[in-house]
Amino acid sequence: MDAALGSTRLLTLTGPGGTGKTSLAVEAARSCGQRFADGATFVPLASVTRPELVWDAVARALGIETKTGDLAVEVEQRLRDQELLLVLDNFEQLIDGAPMVARLLEACSNLKVLVTTRVPLRVSGELALPVPPLELPRSDASESELLSSEAVQLFLQRSRLARPGFEPTNEDVRIVGEICSRLDGLPLAIELAAARTRLLSPRALLARLERRLELLTGGSRDQIERHQTLRAAIDWSYELLEESEKTLFQRLSGFSGGVTLDAAEATISRITCLFSSDITCDIRPWGTLPKRGSRTEKPPAG
């Protein structure tokens, strides 16, 4: 992160919902913000639905009270001489506003912008960094390897909150490794699954993961709504797609365990939007996904 922020003025953290973009951006603002003379400002945009309202949110975060009613100009004037890291969290539903970010960077030469979004902004100078899922244990990992895997650690940490005093046996730890692999190391899915250990043993949980979208509900009430269930996290992305992209997505959902571009082309006749849409950035890696552990299927990207 540090190196990436050193080499660009516009860094975007991309990836499906629940992969850890916001967490990483918050951490970056805390750790890298000190190196900016004017610090870091975090702008939450999840509830902003129209690009023209981005400036209201930025102005609010910067504590600007409008004098002229033209917030875009006032934000620009404030930031022109500042050395600041501006974090724009949750930009995917505002992607048409990407040129506004580019213009702001042009006007403010000491400004850096860190954006979290499910799709890249696609403006010049952008460095898009995909946030990978958590590291998973190998299928034949020893107990100590399992315990040092980030995914297993997250599951155990969260399950102790759901079930105080939970002391996993060796067998439980092995099954937790399997659960994490089945969930592709996605932090949000792991957290929702771990919350289920309140009632279910790891073995019972694994058995029920076949119906995983029904099971992965009941996130914390203080989480944003679309992080309370995995289905809501996926719905949010799906609703942002164009109609042609939705059709493509539905057809691709017939594949299991990822899809190569060749297989997609062979199966889907109207494939033009594969090359013209933002969906591409989610498809390309599918074909090159390494086989992990005993995973047998891949959920739709969020």
Ligand X SMILES: Nc1ncnc2c1ncn2[C@@H]1O[C@H](COP(=O)(O)OP(=O)(O)O)[C@@H](O)[C@H]1O
Binding site for Mg ion (CB under 5 A): 22
What sign does the CA torsion over 72, 77, 78, 81 have? positive
CA distance 176 to 298: 18
CA distance 66 to 224: 29
* Order of strands across the sheet that contains 112-117: 40-44, 85-89, 112-117, 10-14, 126-130
Q: Considering the rule CB under 6 A, would residue 120 count as an interface residue with ligand X?
A: no
Residue 185 contacts which entry, Mg ion, ligand X, none (Cβ below 5-8 A, type-dependent): none
Q: Residues binding ligand X: what is the number (CB under 6 A)?
A: 13
Of 11-19, 46-54, 61-69, 235-243, the segment contacting ligand X by CB under 6 A is 11-19
Among 17, 120, 185, 258, binds ligand X (CB under 6 A): 17
Q: Which of 149, 145, 109 is nearest to 10 (CA)?
A: 109
- The Cα-based distances of 56 to 22, 50, 70, 74, 222 in angstroms read 20, 11, 10, 10, 24
Beta carbon of residue 177, minimum distance to ligand X (angstroms, whole number): 16
Query: Exposure pattern of 223-261 as b/e (b: 16+ CB <10 Å)?
Result: eeebbbbbebbbebbeeebeeebeebbebbeebeebbeb
Beta carbon of residue 263, minimum distance to ligand X (angstroms, whole number): 28
CA distance 126 to 31: 21
Q: Which is nearer to ligand X, 25 or 259 (CB)?
A: 25
Binding mask 126-165 for ligand X (x = CB under 6 A): ----------------------------x-----------
Beta carbon of residue 255, minimum distance to Mg ion (angstroms, whole number): 27
Q: Which is nearer to Mg ion, 12 or 22 (CB)?
A: 22
Residue 20 contacts which entry, ligand X, Mg ion, none (Cβ below 5-8 A, type-dependent): ligand X
Phi, psi at 6, each rounded to 5°: -75, -25
Beta carbon of residue 162, minimum distance to Mg ion (angstroms, whole number): 22
Beta carbon of residue 133, minimum distance to Mg ion (angstroms, whole number): 14
Among 12, 14, 22, 228, binds ligand X (CB under 6 A): 22
Among 5, 10, 21, 58, binds ligand X (CB under 6 A): 21
Beta carbon of residue 27, minimum distance to Mg ion (angstroms, whole number): 13
Instruction: Name the strand (E) or helix (H) holding 113.
Output: strand 112-117
Give me the residues that bind ligand X (CB under 6 A), please: 15, 17-23, 116, 154, 187-188, 191
